[in-house]
Structure 1
Amino acid sequence: MGKYFGTDGFRGEANVDLTSDHAYKVGRFLGWYFGELRRREGYKDDGVFEYSWRGADEKKPRIVIGKDTRRSSYMIEYALIAGMVASGADAYTMHVTTTPSVAYITRTEEFDCGVMITASHNPFYDNGIKVLNRNGQKMDEETIGLIEDYLDGHLHVFGKDYKELPFAEKEGIGRAVDYIAGRNRYIGYLISLGMYSLRGKKIGLDCANGSSWSIAQSVFEALGARTYVINNEPDGTNINRNAGSTHIEGLQKFVCDNHLDCGFAYDGDADRCLAVDENGDVVDGDKIMYIYGRYMKERGKLLTNTVVTTVMSNYGLYKAFDEIDVDYVKTPVGDKNVYKYMSEHGCRIGGEQSGHIIFSKYATTGDGILTSLKLMQVVMDRKKPLSELAAPVKIYPQKLINVRVKDKEAAQNDEKLTQRAAEINEQLEKDGQGRVLVRASGTEPLIRVMVEAESMEMASSYAEELAGILKERGLTQDA
């Protein structure tokens, strides 16, 4: 992780950690850098145009931008656009839309890069900037490093030092282009993936007052479902507030009260999805990977016979996979790491317990609405309720405590904490009862202490002991 960009982009409190000045400079760099790449790769020494960039027919780079429903998203969007056009790029605005829609449009409409303004599941006062490459994947670390260098005033690239970047002039100045058509194309793409009519199905949707509010219902209704929607009235400050995948209890009650067949909850930018079955029980990312991984194996579609998980997946998932002879790997946390392994090894499905599920045949990032459609495909094809499909996964009790700390690196490497965590983990693994995981958040000043055990009492006891060590050592913000 860099100084500004973490595992999922540049994220922090709006106008405190992430200001409009930061956004303007990110826009300035992206507009200039991709224009420079076009100029350098597109012209021979004699000035003859010979551009090999996919779909390019001019020097001016094209960048597509989406945003979630936070109040500060407009401020950051306008600052990004100002920087991009000042550097000579054309900025195409999809307005309020989802992260996976930006990824899809970036790769299919031949943009130089894509930008999503969001802080995902964080509260409304946070915001962030995710940068995607022309293939719709998270931007490579080298380019992110150059952005950070420019923000700090010591950019060195193309064999030259830049304290400031040149401004575009005359006809070289870029323009802002309304591109809501891109969002509509994405909606059409999702509808095209619906293999079965959902007529007669009663489906609940929790849009978290976020990006999915303008997309999810349209997709499900186009496929024939009767939709029951909550948290789809964003006001700029209510995104994720007691709503969406981080507050699944609201959807659980809603599904039961309305006797629905199932429900789906998204986060602020709709790149993750959690489900609720007809009984009101949660079907998390682990169970989703099991359901669809098994479905793929049964149809001979699970290439490499492997599902890609992260270190946060539950021990119960792996036991269930063992029983049906499906292999699995564990990557570090983050859908970026999951996708990297998938693309390098030809895997078709992977994801996180939190609901980031990647179907590599259809998308380059987690896509909550796509995940919903894929689950419904299994329900319709197998003619079984969601509860029955998820039943083989017996989740081990898991206690997760998020501890707000002064210094993530110092806290994670504290000698007493690491020693005690290792002792507990050794004992749990020896008895086949679970495991311990202590890791730093990639986006917030948190240490996440997670313990799995045969009983919640045991998991809670160990997790609280480890969290207590952080406070005892004076490493927490309230110590």
Structure 2
Amino acid sequence: MGRLFGTDGVRGLANSDLTPELALSVARAAAGVLAGRDGTSRPVAVVGRDPRASGEMLEAAVVAGLTSAGAEVLRAGVVPTPALAYLTGRNDADLGVMISASHNPMPDNGLKLFSRGGHKLPDAVEAAIERTVVAGRSGEHRPTGAGIGRVRDLPEAGEDYARHVLSTVDQPLTGLRVVVDCAHGAAAATGPDVYRRAGATVHAIGDAPDGWNINDGVGSTHLGPLADTVREQGADIGIAHDGDADRCLAVTADGDVVDGDMILAICALSMHERGALKDSTVVATVMSNLGFHHTMRDAGIAVQTTAVGDRYVLEALRARGLSLGGEQSGHLVFLDHATTGDGLLTGLALLSRMAATGASLAELASVVQRLPQILINVPVTDRLAVAESDEVAEAVNAVEEELGDSGRVLLRPSGTEQLVRVMVEAPTQEQADEVATRLAEVVARVG
């Protein structure tokens, strides 16, 4: 068995890589590792899923694993991932399990685990759960009789979450015409209703999940249909969520894409003006465009940079008590209101900024002048050799000196494949392409 946990939980082809047996074992191990706070009380777990068909099978396995370990299970049904995190905290549960593969295609599925309070698990806790599963020890504790856990549904789960996110809206969004793409995912039951209740006029697409069509040509990884619909409807903005609604991307009235860097900048500037951006600092990952960094610098906002993954953004936010962070992919974390990336909170914050300023999304997004960027995935046989190579280091240093403050270079080994990702930003696309190709040749030769 390879490593179970990736950058965002356990994920794989449902019923092949991620089997019901594995889901049961992981759930039972998690119940043991994250057991009752005094070591004797019965642990409580909240379980939710996105609408993909395999979620029904895996939910049954997860619930069986948890109850067989003696846990009380609160079943939330189909909810966004941030709703599951919120409900874990709201119900004072010991753990939460979200069954979702996020933006992945329908055949995949995954398990995202949350600890008490609705926080993603630290590496050490994931490692403890994984060791228990790999060693086959997850079934050692088998209560019987009254010790077996029970299951209770949470029929108000979606409404509880909706009221929570709506409580963050300071003023009605009256007059804003919005197209929301729910990716035929978990946002379908919640997203359009939330935006309407906030005051916007809403036209929804990707809002008819059937278990098979999640992320199929729609959502945050397929923005074409959203852009087309925004233009057809004469809407002010289009908002795209992914399958589990923990991310948000947008398009302008003309159909131009507004990515996570731009949304993060808009929200950071808004919070900074209101004195709500703690320590005048925002957290971003190494993938954020240099144009974002320039915008923040010019506004007097510091940027703390982390590794790729919203869990690392969260760790930085919690460690310093900061309030806002995010990724280029559209995961934004508003730590004053949420413990994980929340697409609906992000969409509401973006719409609130438009309502408060009277500015169009295009005008708000224009504060970030993105530098041309290219990413080349270079196949290698030894990622470690590339990382330790003096030849690669010298080539990178030479390019960084050539670009100065007008561009940047990032070499990042893949966490799952024998690849090294070469990313270059430069004043022109031609220069970015040329520099990236030059570095990729060095990496391929060494690796």
- What TM-score, normalized to structure 1? 0.86
1:306 maps onto 2:288 in alignment? no
Which secondary structure does the structure 1 equivalent of 2:240 belong to? strand
Residues 333, 425 of structure 1: alpha-carbon distance in 2 compared, 3 angstrom cutoff: farther
- Structure 1: distance between partners of 2:139 and 2:79: 32
1:168 maps to: 143
Check the 8 A contact 1:411/1:447 in 2, yes or no.
Answer: no
2:410 maps to: 437
Residues 428, 362 of structure 1: alpha-carbon distance in 2 compared, 3 angstrom cutoff: farther
- Structure 1: distance between partners of 2:21 and 2:323: 40
Check the 8 A contact 1:428/1:453 in 2, yes or no.
Answer: no
1:122 maps to: 104
Check the 8 A contact 1:420/1:466 in 2, yes or no.
Answer: no
Q: Which amino acid aligns with 2:400?
A: E
What's the offset of the Cα at 1:417? 8.5
- Structure 2: distance between partners of 1:276 and 1:471: 37
Which secondary structure does the structure 2 equivalent of 1:80 belong to? helix
2:346 maps to: 371
1:422 maps to: 396
Q: Which amino acid aligns with 2:6?
A: G
Check the 8 A contact 1:124/1:240 in 2, yes or no.
Answer: yes
Q: Which amino acid aligns with 1:217?
A: P
2:135 maps to: 153
Check the 8 A contact 2:179/2:226 in 1, yes or no.
Answer: yes
- Structure 2: distance between partners of 1:420 and 1:17: 41
- Correspondence for 1:455 among 401, 424, 428: 428
Which secondary structure does the structure 1 equivalent of 2:243 belong to? coil
Q: Which amino acid aligns with 2:421?
A: R
Identify the range of structure 1 (7-16 vs 388-397) with the bigger mean alpha-carbon deviation: 7-16
1:23 maps to: 23
What's the offset of the Cα at 1:250? 2.5
What's the offset of the Cα at 1:256? 1.6
Report % sequence identity.
Answer: 40
Residues 442, 269 of structure 1: alpha-carbon distance in 2 compared, 3 angstrom cutoff: farther
- Correspondence for 2:370 among 376, 395, 399: 395
Q: Deviations over 1:415-470 (max 9, x none)?
A: 4994476156424433x331222224456776433221112223234445555667
2:70 maps to: 88
Residues 216, 163 of structure 1: alpha-carbon distance in 2 compared, 3 angstrom cutoff: closer
Matches within 5 A, 1:233-252: 233-252=208-227
1:49 maps to: none
What's the offset of the Cα at 1:163? 7.5
Matches within 5 A, 1:316-395: 316-395=291-370
Matches within 5 A, 1:186-335: 186-335=161-310
Q: Which amino acid aligns with 1:397?
A: P
Q: Deviations over 1:300-332 (max 9, x none)?
A: 222201111111111111111222211111111
What's the offset of the Cα at 1:334? 1.1
What's the offset of the Cα at 1:176? 2.0
Which secondary structure does the structure 1 equivalent of 2:220 belong to? helix
Q: Which amino acid aligns with 2:14?
A: A
What's the offset of the Cα at 1:142? 2.3
- Structure 2: distance between partners of 1:325 and 1:271: 28
Gaps of 5+ in 2: none
Check the 8 A contact 2:392/2:442 in 1, yes or no.
Answer: no
Check the 8 A contact 1:412/1:439 in 2, yes or no.
Answer: no
Check the 8 A contact 2:100/2:244 in 1, yes or no.
Answer: yes
Number of matched residues?
Answer: 446
Q: Deviations over 1:111-168 (max 9, x none)?
A: 11111111212222222111111111111222211211111116xxxxxxx5741211
Gaps of 5+ in 1: 43-58, 155-161
Check the 8 A contact 1:32/1:88 in 2, yes or no.
Answer: no
Residues 315, 216 of structure 1: alpha-carbon distance in 2 compared, 3 angstrom cutoff: same
Check the 8 A contact 1:197/1:224 in 2, yes or no.
Answer: yes
Which secondary structure does the structure 2 equivalent of 1:244 belong to? coil
What's the offset of the Cα at 1:377? 1.1
Q: Deviations over 1:228-255 (max 9, x none)?
A: 1111222333222222111223222221
- Structure 1: distance between partners of 2:28 and 2:309: 28
Check the 8 A contact 2:25/2:139 in 1, yes or no.
Answer: no
- Correspondence for 1:136 among 115, 118, 121: 118
1:55 maps to: none
Check the 8 A contact 1:356/1:366 in 2, yes or no.
Answer: yes
Check the 8 A contact 2:52/2:212 in 1, yes or no.
Answer: yes
- Structure 1: distance between partners of 2:347 and 2:385: 37
What's the offset of the Cα at 1:174? 1.0
Which secondary structure does the structure 2 equivalent of 1:180 belong to? coil
Check the 8 A contact 2:251/2:257 in 1, yes or no.
Answer: yes
- Structure 1: distance between partners of 2:437 and 2:186: 35
1:47 maps to: none
Check the 8 A contact 2:33/2:128 in 1, yes or no.
Answer: no
